[in-house]
Structure 1
Amino acid sequence: MSRTTDVALERNQLRVGRLLKAHGLKGALKLELYTDDPGRRFVTGAEFTLQVPEASPWHGKTITVREYRVMNGNSVVFFEGVDDRTAAESLVRAILWIDQDAEDDAEDDAWYDHQLAGLDVVRDDEVVGRLVRVDHFPAQDLLIVKAGDREVMVPFVSAIVPTVDIAAGRIVVTPPPGLFEELPGQDASEDAERDAAAASD
């Protein structure tokens, strides 16, 4: 399961989706979800802040959900005032943010960036680093972990990050071999590659 869920633009806002492409001729847009609870987030009347380039006509504006559907396995959303394909295309790639409500504190699997930064990163009950920041990408988020004198990028997915314990101040990871340490023979392999490159010069 992807952990690209409900991250903070400001301390009182959550990122919950990204508009991928226009769908049909009546203003619908396919939606990439960044929340585990779309039925609650995308109710009729829900209002979102739009993250778009400054040159976009939507910059600085909000938008309101008219209808949310799942069509052929895809999340599709209609907005008030977006009634045709041309209007929908002007919103493609916009990121949707929503004001936090009181229920968000009880939602599982949703954390703010500022809650995660600074937490110990633990593997097999041993601290292997400290979380520096979270980098957000369309496919998934990455935890940037300071481990010694280097930064390690850890995919923020449940298979590798099974536990986030804010109260205990730690994130438990089960990384694949070689993510936090060099594997035996890795140095020798790199030396051999450098020697081969030098010989060919």
Structure 2
Amino acid sequence: MSDAPRTQLRVGRLTKAHGLKGAIKLELYTDDPERRFVPGSSFSLQVPADSPWHGKHLVLRELRWYNGMPVGFFDGVDDRTAAEALLKAILWVENVDQEEAEPDAWYDHQLVGLAVVRDGRKVGEVVRVDHFPAQDLLIVRTPSGEVMVPFVQAIVPEVDVAAGVVTVTPPVGLFEEIVDDEPSTDASGEAGDASDAAAE
């Protein structure tokens, strides 16, 4: 038996009701749907606190593919109204061995505490990960406050858990205020003072 910690893995999001019998289209966050989405699989749900599904689990009856799109059928979701109540819910698999982690997938506890490095210089530290339907955000503590960094390849090209480093290539303005250092100029292109111009 493995002594590795066990935790949760995010595997999908429910996106759109399909038909009238409770089927729901899925956006997959796993490269191994044949293993994660088998009949009887149970998922914990990330839903708003006021959702009737808050704190409950969803059990898969069947996963089908329609025009290349995965569609799930779940226990207790038997009509379109029930399906629509679950839209945007994020599905998590519980008690997953860390060895089962998929490429480019990290658990929150692996990311929290990592140094955030930009151009070879530390700019902050990951303090938490916020999960949203559109994308995840790394919340980075910096000397000037917390910064929300979209956890996408273009901005976070490398995560090295062993080295304790997250490399970021953020757009200008994400970690600093954009300051206009250009002097004001008059119509002739000469730098000048507005009060002088008004006096002439």
Q: Give yes or no for TM over 0.5.
A: yes
The residue number in structure 2 matching 1:111 is 106
Amino acid in structure 2 at the alignment position of 1:141: D
| Aligned positions, number | 180
The residue number in structure 2 matching 1:19 is 14
Say which SS state the counterpart of residue 115 (structure 1) adopts: helix
Say which SS state the counterpart of residue 138 (structure 1) adopts: coil
Judged with a 3 Å threshold, the aligned counterparts in structure 2 of structure 1 residues 62 and 152 are, in CA distance, closer, same or farther, namely: closer
Bigger shift: 77-86 or 136-145? 77-86
Judged with a 3 Å threshold, the aligned counterparts in structure 2 of structure 1 residues 178 and 82 are, in CA distance, closer, same or farther, namely: closer
State how 1:1-201 maps to structure 2 within 5 Å: 12-53=7-48, 56-102=51-97, 104-183=99-178, 185=180
Structure 1 residue 12 displacement after superposition: 2.0
Unaligned runs of at least 5 residues, structure 2: 1-5, 185-200
Say which SS state the counterpart of residue 48 (structure 1) adopts: strand
**1:13, 1:88 → 2: CA distance?**
24
Say which SS state the counterpart of residue 137 (structure 2) adopts: strand
| Greater radius of gyration (CA) | 2
TM-score (norm 2): 0.75
Unaligned runs of at least 5 residues, structure 1: 1-10, 190-201
Which digits, 9 at most, give the CA deviation of each residue in 1:27-71, with x for residues without a partner?
211223333433322122211123445665544432221222332
Task: Point out which structure has higher relative CO (alpha carbons under 8 A, 6+ apart).
Answer: 1
RMSD: 2.8
Percent identity over paired residues? 68
Judged with a 3 Å threshold, the aligned counterparts in structure 2 of structure 1 residues 150 and 40 are, in CA distance, closer, same or farther, namely: same
Say which SS state the counterpart of residue 87 (structure 1) adopts: helix
Amino acid in structure 2 at the alignment position of 1:28: A
